[in-house]
Every structure is written in structure tokens, then in C-alpha cells.
A = this chain, B = another copy of it.
Amino acid sequence: MDSVSKMDILKSYLETKGLKSTSQRDYIADIFFKTNTHISLEELLKKVKRKNTNIGYATVYRTMRLLTECGLAISRQFGDGQTRYENLPEDGHHDHIICIKCSKIAEFQNQKIEQLQVEAAKKLGFTVVNHKLELYGYCPDCV
């Protein structure tokens, strides 16, 4: 199972840093690994509190920093003043389109674009490993 191996990566990271394993960290990480969106700390805390009322904001904050440090989470800022954390997608890649007025984020996939990227890179002698594509504009509500 995927979340198991992610948990193992976390455990290894803690060990090498001389940090301790705690029920709070495990719980927060487990919830996060099951998310599929760009989740903010508030949102994650809310999810966590549903079953575990005692966990505080600071612990979620610190756990997400750890996950980011060991590469299990990607912290992103889309311009709405909130840091959001992205769980590593198990399968495919997606790109983002961000509203420059209300900061709404939509995702899309386009195989043709990915293919053209590889071709454009090849023309310059580059081999593409990874990419980041963000479109900025107006969402349907803000046009």
C-alpha cells in the first residue's frame, strides 16, 4: 500500500534526524497521505480534529513542515495568502490554472501539451524530467 511506504519514509527521516515518533505525527501524516487536494493547515486541522480533538494547530504545522522537508509533501502558494500542501500524486501529473482575482485553483491535464514540451526541449538538446505549468487568468466567476 502506498501510504505505508510513505509512512516508512517519514519514519526513516525522523530517525536520521534524531526525532521521535509520536501518535500525533502518525495520525496527521496518515490523514494527509489520504488527501487528494491542495490542503491548507486549517483544513487539515479540521479533518484531524474530527477523530482526534486534542491535536493542536502548531502540531499540524510542524508535522507538515517535516513532511515537506523529507519530500512527502509539496508546499505551494497560489496567491491567496495561504500555504497549501500537496500530497504526492500516486499516478499522474496535473497542472494548475489560478484566478488572479479570487485565487480559485483548477487543475487540468493535457497530454498534447506534455508531448509538445518534450519536443520543444529535444530541439534544444534537453531531456525533460519534470515540469511546472501554471496558467493565470480569470475564473468563470471573475471574468
Contacts and interface: CB of A to CB of B under 8 A. Distances in A.
A95 B116 CA distance: 13
Copies of this chain: 2
A131 interface: yes
Interface string A68-79: 110000110111
Interface in A79-127: 79, 83, 95, 97, 99-101, 106, 108, 110, 112-113, 116-117, 120-121, 123-127
A99 B116 contact: no
Looking at chain A, what size class is its interface with the partner chain? Answer: 35 or more
Contact of A126 (B127, B132, B137): B137
A31 interface: no
